[in-house]
Structure 1
Amino acid sequence: MIDKNTVKSIVNEWLDGKEYFLVDVEVSPDDRIVVEIDHADGVWIEDCVELSRYIEDHLSRDEEDYELEVGSAGLGQPFKVPQQYHCFVGKDVEVLDADGLKYKGVLKSVDGNDFVVTVLEKQKVEGKKRPQIVEVDRAFQMDKVKYTKYLINFK
């Protein structure tokens, strides 16, 4: 079986000096390798092809046959690494917190493991008879939420 850390090392060599970052590497028991990369401005197919060839140049099919898939982290998929949070600041996201509560709003900021999402909530406002919809900043920690993902908006 091909070692996951070997593949990560090869990918990181290719990434060195580029604005891309590694999202995930999976190696199945039958040597199916899936590499996900990302970039703040999106991933180009030409770069996926280049990385795929780079990996193939550094792994030997004579020693072990494998299937290789290189692609971008899917839009709408949960974030896997902190860099993805930074790429989506100012964009609509959905957060499922540890208690199972879902929040939809704009990713306002990211600081280390912490991030803030501005959501719209009904709240009682002083001087008003009915609850009003107001913007509320909700703070979360990356390692304490079930997921955070980009919300694709077709407006």
Structure 2
Amino acid sequence: MEFKNKIERLLEDFLKNREDLFLIDLKISANDDVTIILDGDEGVTLQDCLDASRAVEFNMDREAHDFSLQVMSAGLSEPLSMPRQFKKNIGRSLDILLQNDTRIEGELTKVEEDSITLLLRYRKPKEIGKGKIDVEEEKIIQFQDIKKALVTIKF
């Protein structure tokens, strides 16, 4: 447990100096393979990953504890898990799976402390006559109701 605590402290110290970056996940396997996943308000560069790696690795004694270290950015295939991640994706399209297994896709327009707002665009049948009409509506979704949220890429 001391090994994990030292890694967490070193990472915490690094992130205090880099307030634009934040920790998404820290995993330490039984074989002491350390994986750190970072995200940033303006994205994460290769240099950011190198800096984080150095901040941890250069302050650990490999003679006392052998480990492998991998630092990476949260990719587009990773689900959004923190309000801070949602904020940096305002204006993008999200595919959201709710706790009740309902899927919703829409443009993220607003992030509040406990919820997000999506702009939904779809076609629905006319109330009178044949054909369909375009509809835009806003839907507020509480963070607690989100099972999984992914940024969708449109070409």
Q: Please, what TM-score do these two structures have when normalized by structure 1? A: 0.88
Matched, 1:10 2:10: yes
SS class of match (2:76): coil
| 8 A Cα contact 1:76 1:152, kept in partner | no
The equivalences for 1:116-131 within 5 A come to 116-123=117-124, 129-131=130-132
The equivalences for 1:6-155 within 5 A come to 6-18=6-18, 19-123=20-124, 129-154=130-155
**Aligned-partner residue type, residue 12 of structure 2:** N
Identity %: 27
RMSD of the alignment, in Å? 2.0
| 8 A Cα contact 1:79 1:147, kept in partner | yes
C-alpha displacement at 1:64, in angstroms?
A: 1.6
Range 51-60 or range 84-93, more displaced: 51-60
> Runs in 1 of length 4+ with deviation above 4 angstroms?
124-129
Q: Please, what TM-score do these two structures have when normalized by structure 2? A: 0.88
CA distance in 1, matches of 2:137, 2:85: 23
CA distance in 2, matches of 1:142, 1:96: 11
**Aligned-partner residue type, residue 37 of structure 2:** E
Range 122-131 or range 53-62, more displaced: 122-131
CA distance in 1, matches of 2:107, 2:92: 5
SS class of match (2:64): coil
